[in-house]
Chains A and B, each alone.
Chain A
Amino acid sequence: MLRVLGNPVYALISVGATEEDIAAAAARLGVDRPLPVQFLDYVGQLLRLDLGRSFTSNLSVGDEVLRRLNVTLPLTLLSFALSVLIAIPAGFLAAWKARTWYGTAFSALTQLAGAIPVFWVGILLVTVFALRARILPAGGFPRTDWEDPQAALRALVLPVLTIAIVSGSELARYVRSASLDVLGQTYLRTARATGQSFAGALLRHGLRNGIVPVISVLAIQLSTTFVGAVIVENVFALPGLGDMLLVGIREQDFPSVQGVLLFSTALVLLLGFVADVLQRILDPRIRGTLSGNHRSRAAA
């Protein structure tokens, strides 16, 4: 699709290039061929899991994506883990203590955190912890990559915090509403009446019921975290996928842009699929409906 857009040749040639230079550059990129041919060629490449070569650096896009994942994947997973660790207890407590000061403070805080753009959180954290207090690096990633794990981790602390604050508060709101739902169910009271302890009943019956809607949100949340990483990488000058995408757009390096977007889309769809399967495993009631899936989720 992106093959149609703009002329990538201009990114390669210098000022004063002759007609022949332009034609040669176009031939090298293969953009002088008819568009349908280019497209079919690209699809053929994809089937061989080959994302092509970058117009500007001539490196394999697939290799570059994998290399960039060294930064983006840890960033995404760590942020996600941290936000889940914060969100589940915080959200559950907020449901339990719904009408206390904690519940109110929780609502106000998550409302506020949900309204703050993720990159601004990043700027503020950099200002406070890196520029003023000077306890953490303001950005960049060690050249040694993960050979020096400590330095690599230090570079990720602020980015991870940035994403976790924003996506954690969003997740916490879902956890709160799922917990509110469970806590109000009569089966909990029935379980208590059969002599189970409150915690036991909650773990045995509440968790399994409450977790189903949360799982579909978790998958969405993991993809938002991934997109958040794409933006936040830019705040902290991290050489990840987001950086690759932006540079690609700026330099009209379509194979790179396509590669990153295709990879991200595949990842997002895959996560959605895994969540659907998990939900079916956990909740037998959803299992029977095949095509009705979007209905049940939409109704929730």
Chain B
Amino acid sequence: MSDPRILGADAGTAVREAQRPPRPRGVRSINLVAGAVLFGVIVLTALVSLVYTPYDPAETTGGRLSPPSAEHPAGTDVLGRDLLTFLMIGARLAIAVGIGSVAISAVLGVTIGLVAAFASRWVDDAVSSLLDIAIAFPTVLLAMLIVAWRGASLESAILAIGLAGSAVVARLTRIVGTRVLSEAYITASRTAGTTTARMLVLHVLPNVWPTLVVPFALQFGGAVVAEASLSYLGLGSPPPNASWGRLLQEAQSTVLVAPLGAVLPGVLLVVTIVGINLLADGLRDVVDPSSRSGR
């Protein structure tokens, strides 16, 4: 391998291989399956927590910081509350944050994006520049601003994260929307006398949608992390509806006595995010088979 020519040739092969058309779907959908399983576990936990949790979240049944036992599979927290119960509630909150903020971003972002795509060049430029600034503004800082305004609650967090995400969605929608609007079938439809509103619903949205599925999935994961960070800083929803970020903050000071409390919420966070990321990866291959593996 000391001969530079061989090195160069090697690199060439590697790259050509990386740019080869995607492997057969069977191999690639491993991402999809693994992601669906990981994420499915979290969703299932969240659903179960709606009808059943081992204990009442406010119930202080166990000893303080007791290790895992038959009664408390994940141990208890500093006040003797059951950790498993909190972990399950955390899953429910994580899903709520993901769905809520992605919904806000979707409604706002797609609307703004389509307006920009339809609008005159001047409006389009103005909106796009504003979006650029909005995207440059870090989500967590925006979230802190909104929390300072509305007070710390789950709704504030969802609203903030959703707003921050909508700029990204809007920019993407604008790009895809512009492309769709230049298609022949739009001209044809317009010639046939279709109203703008009808065209939006019938032709534009269905063609913009597939491109947005993957970003939405990725945004879901980002929203869960952002909420966890806010909660960790004490700016999320207050107990007893404690999210994983809050649990981590509370467990930080007792990590040597009860390490599980500082580990399990983090593990669940990572499982959720890796799960949704893999799911997004898998979806990308399904939605857009031409995408390469290299990102």
Contacts and interface: CB of A to CB of B under 8 A. Distances in A.
Interface in A149-184: 173, 176-177, 180, 183-184
Contacts of B295: 173, 176-177
A2 B294 contact: no
A8 to B, nearest CB: 11
B18 A98 contact: yes
Contact of A246 (B171, B234, B266, B273): B234
A268 B138 contact: yes
A158 B128 CA distance: 40
Nearest to A257: B148
6 contacts: A99-B18, A115-B274, A176-B295, A231-B229, A231-B233, A249-B144
Contact of A245 (B12, B125, B144, B274): B144
Contacts of B17: 98-99
B289 to A, nearest CB: 19
B237 interface: no
Given A116-B266, A249-B147, A268-B138, A127 B256 contact: yes
B224 to A, nearest CB: 9
Interface in B198-256: 221, 225, 228-229, 232-235, 245, 248, 252, 255-256
Interface of A: 2, 5, 95-100, 111-112, 114-120, 123-124, 126-127, 131-132, 173, 176-177, 180, 183-184, 189, 192, 197-199, 201, 220, 223-224, 226-227, 230-231, 234-235, 245-246, 248-250, 252, 254, 257, 261, 264-265, 268-269, 272, 291, 294-295, 298-299
B294 A117 contact: no
B269 interface: yes
B7 to A, nearest CB: 6
Interface of B: 4-5, 7-8, 11-12, 14-19, 125, 128-129, 131-133, 136-138, 140-141, 144-145, 147-149, 171-172, 175, 221, 225, 228-229, 232-235, 245, 248, 252, 255-256, 259, 262, 266, 269-270, 273-274, 277, 294-295
A298 B171 contact: yes
A180 B12 contact: no
B18 A249 contact: no
B136 A123 contact: no
A100 B15 CA distance: 12
Nearest to B252: A123
A249 B148 contact: yes
B141 A96 contact: no
A183 B229 contact: no
Contact of B136 (A124, A234, A268): A268
Contact of A227 (B7, B11, B138): B138
Given A111-B277, A261-B141, A294-B129, A116 B270 contact: yes
Contacts of B18: 95, 98-99, 180, 184
Given A123-B266, A197-B4, A269-B136, A117 B228 contact: yes
Contacts of B15: 95, 98, 180, 183-184
Given A231-B232, A269-B136, 15 more contacts: A5-B148, A115-B270, A115-B274, A117-B225, A119-B232, A124-B262, A127-B255, A177-B294, A198-B8, A220-B136, A227-B140, A230-B140, A248-B148, A257-B148, A269-B133
A295 B132 CA distance: 10
Contacts of B256: 127, 131-132
Closest 10 CB pairs of A and B: A198-B8, A115-B273, A120-B266, A184-B15, A227-B138, A183-B15, A98-B18, A180-B294, A249-B148, A115-B274
A119 B252 CA distance: 10
A196 to B, nearest CB: 10
Contacts of B4: 197-199
A189 B262 CA distance: 52
Nearest to B132: A294
A38 B273 CA distance: 44
A264 B233 CA distance: 18
Contacts of A99: 14, 17-18
A299 B149 CA distance: 35
A123 B262 contact: yes
Nearest to A116: B270
Nearest to A234: B233
A115 B277 contact: yes
A265 B140 contact: no
A55 B12 CA distance: 63
B11 A96 contact: yes
Contact of B137 (A126, A245, A265): A265
Contacts of B259: 127
* Most chain A beta carbons < 10 A, residue from B16, B221, B229, B256: B229
B264 to A, nearest CB: 11
Given A131-B256, A198-B11, A199-B4, A112 B229 contact: no
Nearest to B295: A177
A88 B259 CA distance: 35
A252 B150 CA distance: 12
A257 B145 CA distance: 8
